[in-house]
Structure 1
Amino acid sequence: MWQQIYNPLGQPLLSALVAALPMVFFLLALTVFRLKALTAAVMTLGLSLIMALWLFGMPLHKAVMAALYGMANGLWPIGYIVLMAVWLYRIAVKSGKFEIIRGSIATISEDQRIQVLLIAFCFGGFLEGAAGFGVPIAICAALLVELGFKPIRAAMLCLVSNAAAGAYGAIGIPIIVGAQQGGVTTGALAPMLIAILQLSTLFIPALLVMILDGWRGLKQTWPVVTLVGVLFSGSQALVLYLLGPELVDIVPPLLSMAALALFMRLWRPTHVYREPGAPPVSARRWPLTAVLLAWSPFYILTAIIMVWSLPAFRALFAAGGALAVTVIQWPMPGLHLQVQELPPIASAAHSLAALWRIELVGASGTAILLAVIVTTLTSKTLSLRQSAGQLLTVTRELWKPLATICLVMSVAYVANFSGTSSTLGLALAEAGRAFPLISPVIGWLGVFITGSVVNNNVLFAHLQAVTAGQIGASQPLLVAANTSGGGMAKVVSPQSIAIAAGAVGLVGQESDIMRATLRYSLALLAYACLWTFVLSLM
């Protein structure tokens, strides 16, 4: 048994500054040094291992197993989901459905500012709520490229859009976990999340339009921007407050997509915006049956994932469930229950689990695989051989971003099991009454390191709650701030960027995407910090 150390140098701030070196290096490697993500991830993992061994005294075999545990989780479920999502997109292209999809989107509006709101913001928000784990970024970025957006711009728009839905995640799991870890109820958490997140979500459609076409674009599209922003953010608030977090990213995106389609029948902008080099809008009007068939991969995916998300279906995979045999749990040798987390990170000393969970049937990737199979079997223009060929092509193209994801996960798990992440959080907590000002920064760091709002809340929601009690602040407020900051880090999470790069064919250019999105993530973070501090004074 090995116990984590949170202040190895005897000075909390100094320990935190040294512990932050791997993360700082990775950020600089992508933005300043412009290294390829795979190269930067390899170097960062090496630096993280050195830090865990030298600074925190973690035994070598435990550090190695933590890295392998991260790689395993990068392969399954994340890598599996990404591979299946891009495969679904590619067979939709191969079958010729995208020509009709382009035409059907153009019937709503040929204006590409509206198309971004429909695809990246609304549809992406729905996919985040239904599946998460990079599915909305992979599918929506590829869709935008097919519609004529440049790959970097498509990736950036989808990443920025994800800030509106990323904090709530798949079926509200980040919120549920945050409430559990922080020792608060979801009912107490809801008003604080509404106060922080829904105000920023309200303005994200306007931000997306301004990224594309500046103030002129916002002036020309303000009616639809206002409609989508108010309806999406407002219905998120109502669903969260009245029903709980599970449907926050399911119902509002569907309402917004429907409202947007209906509104565009009654209104159009004075100027139609098209990206330079975008393919011309086809004058052809496709019959309804053809449009429904073209979109079938995505509503088949939607239907299957919604079934996969039902509590009754999930119960089949629980211990004693009818399909429990399809769940493999492999304890990592020398790591599972062999590392102890100590107060104040935990309320009492406890051993960390290290079980690699492989859900053969219940994984979201399997739901996407079923959508691929149904799409292939129902497509008259696509054979099983062609579909399998697309999988081989996608695998060859995505091995680098998948390897990058695995390495980034390794960095995250080494940080988690060595206590590096906790050291950073504790140092920030030394700010006292000014702590609410930097509370969202902890969440931002947690997601930047781990790539997951769920993991971020597992790491830091309890710390936020404990600190709130020590300084006399609201515990729900700081747990909400942790979640909100994490949602804003999804814009620049190395995992998300690697997924986006793979989806739009920019493997090796992750640093370009990072530079394009970083300022938006930091601006959203600055808002969350200032507003959380103001709320803490009320």
Structure 2
Amino acid sequence: MTVEIIRLISTLLPLIWLGYALISRIVRPHIACIISLLITGIASITVWRISADILLWSILDGVIFSLFPIIWTIFTALFTYRLVCETGAIEGIKRSLSGISNNRLIQAFIVAFCFGSLLEGIAGFGTSVIIPSAILLSLGFPPYQSAMISLISNTVPVVYAAVGVPVIALAKATDLPLKALSGTIGLQLFPVTLIIPFLIKREIKENVPFVLILGTGLVFALTQTLVGWFIGPELPAILAPFLTIVFLLIYLRVKGERPDIRREDLKAWSPYALIIILILITRFSANLSNIFSNYPFSISFSMGPLNKTTEIEFLYTPGSLILLSAIIGGIILKAKPSDYKKAFIGTFSQILPTFLVITSMVLISNIMNYAGMTKFLAIKLIDVFGYFYPFVSPFLGAIGTFLGGSDTTSNALFGALQTEAAKSIGVSPVWLASANATGATGGKLISIQNLTLAVSGINKKGEEGKLMRIVFPYFLFYLLIMGVIIFIGARVLG
């Protein structure tokens, strides 16, 4: 057996094991990821001859980044959501949404496309599927229609989930500029974002003007792209659905419909309104930005033989701003100390498997990158697909989401590989790295984790297979469009 074949097997083995373990469910996802990490570590030492100090420092670098900002942001986002639930404010949010219109299509736009996206942008990691599915079911939508609409809606915003965590993970994995990635992702997603409302309309036979469907997609797509380009990855999935709801409210007002929304229900939104305000202030105020991102609110240190510096920004990171919003918002909602305690304990128990999955994925990516495995695999993929690799690149991102359950894990796993492939074929690394993230959004449609949450929301546990068959054509359609967009951007517009 030649050295090259041994290297190929050692590089693919962690990924093959991960795919098999997650699809067959022979072990829990976080256990599968840890075993895959161990296989990667052993292969890097025995086959790729990585030095012990590089291996240890790459592990330390990955653990630090997983904690700050990824896990910290996810933890505070979920804590905020749990606090809103503990105070009962979530019922006020549901009432304010369901009272806007009796039109089924508008209800689907508001609950699944807008509120689901807002949940994705603020909390992510499952809340944006199970809650909209349950709300639509309570409004009288058929069970599988409720789940399918929620899954279709939970595509384009996931790249900006939990205040931009997937894009932050992608920037870390690729060493590419955060804002360049954020803006490019919004640009790539623009066409499919326009199409999503039409896909929802296809499932709901309700007569509404064409301009309403187009306007819903256009407002969302424009806001998401512009915010991603000029502000960054933290707010696109928050401001886009918010402004789309405003557009729908204006449309209803022009048509003479008056939404039935109680004033006290609007107060339930206060923690999320504070998140938007604090992030906007810190991103647009140069003085605050400099203060928050420098010592003593930020520390940096050398990562030894990795020839890089790691920085931890304690206050500037979205997680800290979300926590502050949760505390102040909790006061506005009259949260009791026991509410804070229950929210904290519940979040802590929920976050542990997520921490193990994401940290394992980041470490696998780090080790493969420093060992040379990533570059090797990129070259092999280019040998297979050649000129048409850009068309295939979103599918790789989707596979990452299917395996890991989130855009974040896909970006951590395959972001560096896409960058290496881009360099090898003379395409913009930012364009192909972004393609991984945008392709990963389509993978959410068939992610086992998402399907499980969706069937739980409609009280159809164990029916993931049936739901998979329903949404799979949409998955293929979505990825084919993304493939064409990425190919044209790389080869035609170049």
| TM tier, smaller | 0.7 to 0.9
Instruction: Return 5+ residue gaps in structure 1 as ranges.
Output: 1-7, 270-283, 340-350, 470-474
Match of 2:284 in 1: 310
Match of 1:97 in 2: 89
Match of 2:341 in 1: 388
Matches within 5 A, 1:209-288: 209=200, 215-217=202-204, 220=207, 223=210, 224-234=212-222, 236=224, 252-265=240-253, 287-288=262-263
2:325 and 2:183 map into 1 onto residues whose CA distance is: 34
Q: Which amino acid aligns with 2:86?
A: K
Q: Residue 77 of structure 2 contacts residue 322 of structure 2 at CA under 8 Å; is this kept in 1?
A: yes
Distance of aligned partners of 1:434 and 1:499 in 2 relative to their CA distance in 1, 3 Å threshold:
closer
- TM-score w.r.t. the length of structure 2 is 0.75
Asked whether 1:435 is paired with 2:389, we answer yes
Asked whether 1:358 is paired with 2:312, we answer yes
Match of 1:277 in 2: none
Q: CA deviation at 1:325?
A: 0.9
Q: Select 1:482's aligned residue among 433, 439, 458.
A: 433
Match of 1:272 in 2: none
Q: Residue 124 of structure 1 contacts residue 137 of structure 1 at CA under 8 Å; is this kept in 2?
A: no
1:264-295 superposed Cα distances (whole Å, 9 cap, x missing partner): 456699xxxxxxxxxxxxxx95532x022122
Q: Which amino acid aligns with 1:367?
A: L
- Mean Cα displacement is larger for which, 88-97 or 453-462? 453-462
Q: CA deviation at 1:418?
A: 2.5
Asked whether 1:378 is paired with 2:329, we answer no
Q: CA deviation at 1:104?
A: 0.9
Q: Select 2:298's aligned residue among 318, 327, 339.
A: 327
Q: CA deviation at 1:91?
A: 1.9
Q: Which amino acid aligns with 1:398?
A: I
2:373 and 2:83 map into 1 onto residues whose CA distance is: 42
Q: Which amino acid aligns with 2:431?
A: A
1:313-357 superposed Cα distances (whole Å, 9 cap, x missing partner): 322234xx4xx21223355xxxx2424xxxxxxxxxxx4x263x4
Highest RCO, 1 vs 2 (Cα 8 Å, sep ≥ 6): 1
Q: Residue 441 of structure 1 contacts residue 525 of structure 1 at CA under 8 Å; is this kept in 2?
A: yes
- Mean Cα displacement is larger for which, 52-61 or 157-166? 157-166
Q: CA deviation at 1:309?
A: 2.9
Q: CA deviation at 1:201?
A: 1.7
Distance of aligned partners of 1:226 and 1:38 in 2 relative to their CA distance in 1, 3 Å threshold:
same
Distance of aligned partners of 1:18 and 1:458 in 2 relative to their CA distance in 1, 3 Å threshold:
closer
1:382-410 superposed Cα distances (whole Å, 9 cap, x missing partner): 31233223312332343333333333333
Matches within 5 A, 1:429-508: 429-430=382-383, 431-441=385-395, 451=408, 459=416, 463=420, 465-469=422-426, 475-476=427-428, 479-490=430-441, 492=443
Q: Which amino acid aligns with 1:368?
A: I
- Mean Cα displacement is larger for which, 221-230 or 43-52? 221-230
- TM-score w.r.t. the length of structure 1 is 0.70
Size of the aligned set, in residue pairs, is 469
Q: Secondary structure at the match of 1:358?
A: strand
1:155 and 1:55 map into 2 onto residues whose CA distance is: 45
Distance of aligned partners of 1:240 and 1:28 in 2 relative to their CA distance in 1, 3 Å threshold:
same
1:537 and 1:42 map into 2 onto residues whose CA distance is: 41
Q: Residue 174 of structure 1 contacts residue 457 of structure 1 at CA under 8 Å; is this kept in 2?
A: no
Q: CA deviation at 1:203?
A: 1.4
Q: Which amino acid aligns with 1:261?
A: L
Whichever structure has more helix as a proportion of its residues is 2
Q: Residue 439 of structure 1 contacts residue 529 of structure 1 at CA under 8 Å; is this kept in 2?
A: yes
Match of 1:26 in 2: 18
Q: Residue 137 of structure 1 contacts residue 500 of structure 1 at CA under 8 Å; is this kept in 2?
A: no
Q: CA deviation at 1:181?
A: 6.4
Match of 1:80 in 2: 72
Instruction: Return 5+ residue gaps in structure 2 as ranges.
Output: none
Match of 1:338 in 2: 305
Q: Secondary structure at the match of 1:92?
A: helix
Q: CA deviation at 1:375?
A: 2.1
